[in-house]
Amino acid sequence: MKHHLELNFPFQIIKDDIVYPEYQNIWQFAVVDATNYLTPVALNFFKQLGIDDLYCEFIKGDPNQKCNIHVDGRIMDDGSVYVRSEWAINIIWGSESSKMFWYRPHGKDLRRMMGDTGITYPIYYPEEVDVIEEYTVTGKPLLCDISTPHNVINFDDKIRWCMSIRSKSTKLQWADACKFFEQYSAEQQITA
C-alpha cells in the first residue's frame, strides 16, 4: 500500500490572508487554530465528514534543507510510541522542488529527540532505514501516512510551507483513511 494519496477538493482550503508564524529553526512547526487558517468551506467540509476536532501544524522548511526522519508521535515514559493520528492532509506551497520519503527501519530501536514543543519524538538516522517510497510534491493536497518513518527534503532556494491538517481524536488507521478520502483522490479522478 502506498503511503500517500494526492487529493483534489473542489474548493479552496487555506485562506488567502493568513498570518505566518515567527520561526527560529530550520524545520519548525507551530500548532495553529484551524479557524484562523482554513476557509469556512473547508471547515464545514471536515465537519460534515465527522472531523470537527481539527489539529493543524503550520510547518516551515528552509531552502535546501531536510528534516529528520521521524514518526509524528511521541515516545512515552514506558518506551512505547503514541501516535495521535496516522494520517494528515498536507497543503504545500512556496518551494517548487521538494520530495517526501517514507522508510522501513532496520530494527526496533528508537532514538529520541526533544522537539521545540517539549515533546520527545522518535527519529532515525539514514543508515538505520531503507527508502520504501518517495513522492515529488506537485502542489495538490496530499493525504500522508505520518505513522511510518518519513521526512521531507526541500531542494529549492525558496521556503517550503506546509499546512498539515489532522484530527485530534479520529482513530482512522492509515488504510481506513485512504478509503475514507478515496472519493477525493486526484488519481482516481484523472483515470475515471
Type of residue found at 191:
T
- Measure CA 147 to chain center: 10
For the chain, the domains span 4-10+24-191
Pairing verdict, β 160-167 and 87-93: antiparallel
Give, in words, the CATH class of 4-10+24-191.
mainly beta
The single-letter code of the amino acid at 5 is L
- The predicted-structure confidence for 161-183, as pLDDT tens digits, reads as follows 999 999 987 778 899 999 999 99
166-65-149-25 Cα dihedral, nearest 10 degrees: -60
pLDDT tens, position by position, 65-121: 999 999 887 777 777 777 778 999 999 999 999 999 999 999 876 676 766 556 677
pLDDT at 9: 95
The percent helix, strand, coil of the chain (3-state, each to 5) is 15, 40, 45
